[in-house]
């Protein structure tokens, strides 16, 4: 017996505001709906609790994408954090959230009590969120699920700047965003994007880093075509 696909919400890919009814559960039967960020169940209806664009990630999973400066921790997000304090068991890391995050000293590849890494205050860390509850401090890890360091760890040199969370999500989207595409053709640089609205750029020349960072910062309020034009304009100015 094949279950019919659930009818999608008519508000998908539209802007919703808090209080909008996204789904009516009384009209659905024997279907499981997964709620992401920004949605809440109110008796038989699913309502939005934050303003943004409604997304349907899977046939039965919904969330609201919004752009803000305060990061709300979520499990399996990759974030850029700044070490603000070191404790015997944890590093306290600022991830632009409501609370500081804990980074256990043993959450590195091959980490044991004998080879605890020594981070100064202000060190930039690329990490993964493994625990995120609203009543506790979030917990980070510098390993992936299999225990490998992969891309996580300390980021040396380079320049880190702040953007909004929407900008970060755009930079990490599957079809490469126009800014990174055009910049990648002309320049060679290394970039790490955290979902908490932080971007780290590194390149051999300082002028390249400055150009890339300014291009990314300016491209948030531009459309795709204008982004390409802006980047090409900056590149012409450089040469």
Partner 1 sequence: MQNSRSATVRLPVMEHLRWRPTVNERDFIECALQSDLRVDGRHSFDFRKLKITFGREDGSSEVQLGETHVMGYVTVQLVQPYRDRPNEGTLAIFTEFSPMADPSFEPGRPGELAIELGRVIDRGLRESRAVDMESLCVVAGKHVWSVRVDLHILDNGGNLIDAANIAALAALSTFRRPECTVGGDDGQQVTVHDPEVRDPLPLTIHHMPIAVTFAYFGEGNIVVLDPTYKEEAVMGGRMTAIVNSNGDVCAIQKAGGEGVMSSVIMQCLRIASVKAADITSKIKKAVDSYTTEKALKKVKRLPTSVPQKINVTNVTMDGKGDGELEKQSVQMHSDVQQISKGDENQQSIKRNSPLTRDRIAKHKQTSTFIGGPSNWDPYSKGVTLRSLKISDLPDPPTMVKASSREDAQPMTESSNAEVNTSSAVAAGESESHEIGSPKSLKDAIKPKHKRKKKKSDRS
Q: How far apart are CA 9 and CA 48, in angstroms?
A: 12
CB nearer to partner 1: pick between 122 and 175: 122
Q: How far apart are CA 88 and CA 228, in angstroms?
A: 48
Verify binding: residue 141, partner 1, rule CB under 8 A.
no
Closest CA to 94 of 133, 53, 138: 138
Q: Which residue has the tokens 């981070």?
A: 119
Verify binding: residue 213, partner 1, rule CB under 8 A.
yes
Of 18-26, 84-92, 174-182, 225-233: span binding partner 1 (CB under 8 A) = 84-92
Q: How far apart are CA 170 and CA 178, in angstroms?
A: 10
Tell me the number of residues near partner 1 by CB under 8 A: 30
Q: How far is the CB of 122 from partner 1 (least distance, A)?
A: 4
Verify binding: residue 102, partner 1, rule CB under 8 A.
yes
Q: Which of 16, 39, 100, 230 binds partner 1 (CB under 8 A)?
A: 100
> For residue 214, what are its two tokens?
């300014």
Q: Which long-range contacts (CB under 8 A, 24 or more apart) does 86-89 make?
A: 86/119, 86/121
> For residue 86, what are its two tokens?
């070191």
Q: Are strands 61-65 and 34-35 parallel, antiparallel or unpaired?
A: parallel
Number of residues in the chain: 239
Q: How far is the CB of 136 from partner 1 (least distance, A)?
A: 6
Verify binding: residue 169, partner 1, rule CB under 8 A.
no
Verify binding: residue 153, partner 1, rule CB under 8 A.
no
Verify binding: residue 214, partner 1, rule CB under 8 A.
yes
Verify binding: residue 158, partner 1, rule CB under 8 A.
yes
Residues that bind partner 1 (CB under 8 A): 82, 84, 87, 90, 92, 94, 99-100, 102, 120, 122-124, 136-137, 155-161, 200, 206-207, 209-211, 213-214
């Amino acid at each position: 017996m094949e279950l019919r696909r659930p009818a999608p919400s008519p508000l998908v890919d539209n802007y919703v505001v808090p209080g909008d009814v996204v789904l009516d559960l009384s009209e659905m039967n024997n279907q499981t709906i997964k709620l992401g960020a920004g949605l809440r169940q109110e008796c038989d209806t699913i309502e939005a609790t934050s303003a943004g664009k409604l997304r349907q990630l899977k046939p039965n999973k919904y969330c609201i994408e919004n752009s803000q400066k305060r990061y709300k921790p979520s499990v399996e997000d990759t974030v850029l954090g700044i070490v603000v304090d070191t404790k015997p068991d944890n590093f306290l890391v600022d991830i632009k959230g409501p609370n500081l995050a804990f980074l256990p000293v043993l959450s590195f590849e091959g980490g044991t009590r004998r080879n605890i890494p020594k981070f100064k205050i202000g060190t930039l860390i690329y990490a993964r969120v493994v625990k995120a509850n609203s009543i506790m401090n979030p917990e980070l890890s510098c390993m992936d699920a299999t225990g490998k360091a992969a891309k996580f760890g300390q980021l040396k040199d380079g320049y880190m700047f702040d953007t909004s969370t929407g900008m970060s999500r755009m930079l990490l989207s599957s079809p490469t965003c126009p800014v990174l595409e055009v910049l990648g053709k002309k320049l060679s640089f290394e970039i790490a994007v955290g979902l908490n609205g932080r971007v780290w750029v590194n390149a051999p020349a300082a002028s390249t880093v400055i150009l890339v960072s300014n291009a990314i910062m300016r491209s948030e309020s531009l459309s795709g075509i204008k982004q390409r034009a802006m980047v090409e304009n900056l590149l012409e100015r450089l040469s």
